[in-house]
Amino acid sequence: MQTTLRGVGVSHGVAIGEVRHMGTAVLEPPAKQIPAEEAEREQGRARQAVEAVAADLIARGNLAGGEAQHVLEAQAMMAQDPELMADVDRRIAVGSTAERGVYDAFASYRALLAGAGEYLAGRVADLDDVRNRIVARLLGVPMPGVPDSDEPYVLIARDLAPADTALLDPTLVLGFVTEEGGPTSHSAILARALGVPAVVALPGAGELAEGTVIAVDGSTGEIFVEPSAEKRAEMEASAAARKAALSASTGPGATSDGHKVPLLANVGGPGDVPAAVAAGAEGVGLFRTEFLFLDDSKQAPSEEKQIAAYRAVLEAFPEGRVVVRVLDAGADKPLAFLTPADEPNPALGVRGLRSLLDHPDVLRTQLTALAKAAEGLPVYLEVMAPMVADRADAKAFADACRAAGLQAKFGAMVEIPSAALRARSVLQEVEFLSLGTNDLAQYTFAADRQVGAVSRLQDPWQPALLDLVAMSADAAKAEGKSCGVCGEAASDPLLACVLTGLGVTSLSMGAASIPYVRSTLAKYTLAQCERAASAARAADSAEEARVAAQAVLSGE
DSSP state of 172: T
Active-site positions read 186, 486
Closest C-alpha among 542, 495, 501 to residue 520: 495
What lies within 8 Å, CB to CB, of 381 at 6+ separation is 314, 322, 324, 370, 374, 407, 408, 409
What lies within 8 Å, CB to CB, of 465 at 6+ separation is 437, 440, 441, 444, 445, 489
Distance between CA atoms of residues 52 and 32, nearest Å: 24
Residue 554: burial class (beta carbons within 10 Å; 0-12, 13-18, 19+): exposed
Type and span of the H or E element at 321: strand 321-325
Distance between CA atoms of residues 402 and 408, nearest Å: 9
Type and span of the H or E element at 409: strand 409-414
Give yes or no for a contact between 335 and 293, defined as CB atoms under 8 angstroms apart: yes
Closest C-alpha among 299, 202, 166, 263 to residue 496: 263
Residue 78: burial class (beta carbons within 10 Å; 0-12, 13-18, 19+): buried
- For 434, half-sphere exposure in the C-beta direction (CA atoms, 13 angstrom radius) is 29
Which of left, alpha, beta for 415 (phi over 0: left; psi -120 to 50: alpha)?
alpha
Order of strands across the sheet that contains 153-157: 3-6, 222-225, 213-217, 14-21, 153-157, 173-178, 198-200, 8-11
Give yes or no for a contact between 373 and 311, defined as CB atoms under 8 angstroms apart: yes
Alpha helices in 140-272 (DSSP H): 162-166, 186-194, 229-248
Distance between CA atoms of residues 129 and 57, nearest Å: 11
The DSSP code sequence of 23-73 is PPPPPPPP-----GGGHHHHHHHHHHHHHHHHHHHHHHHHHH-HHHHHHHH
Distance between CA atoms of residues 285 and 266, nearest Å: 6
